[in-house]
Amino acid sequence: TFMLGTLQVRAMHTPGHTPACMTYVVEDNTTSDAPAAAFVGDTLFMPDYGTARCDFPGGDARTLFRSIGRVLSLPPETVLYMCHDYRPGGRELQWKTTVAEERAHNIHVRDGISEDDFAATREQRDATLAMPVLLLPSVQVNMRAGELPPAESNGVHYLKIPIDAL
Confidence (pLDDT) at 164: 74
Q: What percent of the chain has pLDDT over 70?
A: 95
Segments making up each domain of the chain, as ranges: 2-129
Question: What b/e string do you get for 58-74 counting C-beta neighbours within 10 Å, with b at 16 or more?
Answer: ebbbebbbebbeebbeb
pLDDT given at position 136: 85
Q: What superfamily does domain 2-129 belong to in CATH?
A: Ribonuclease Z/Hydroxyacylglutathione hydrolase-like (3.60.15.10)
Task: Provide the total of helices (H) and of strands (E) in the chain, helices listed first.
Answer: 4, 6
Per-residue pLDDT at 31: 67
Residue 140 confidence (pLDDT): 87
List, for residues 14-42, the tens digit of each pLDDT value.
999 999 999 999 987 766 666 689 999 99
Residue 59 DSSP label: -
The pTM of this model reads 0.84
Residues of the chain scoring pLDDT < 50: none
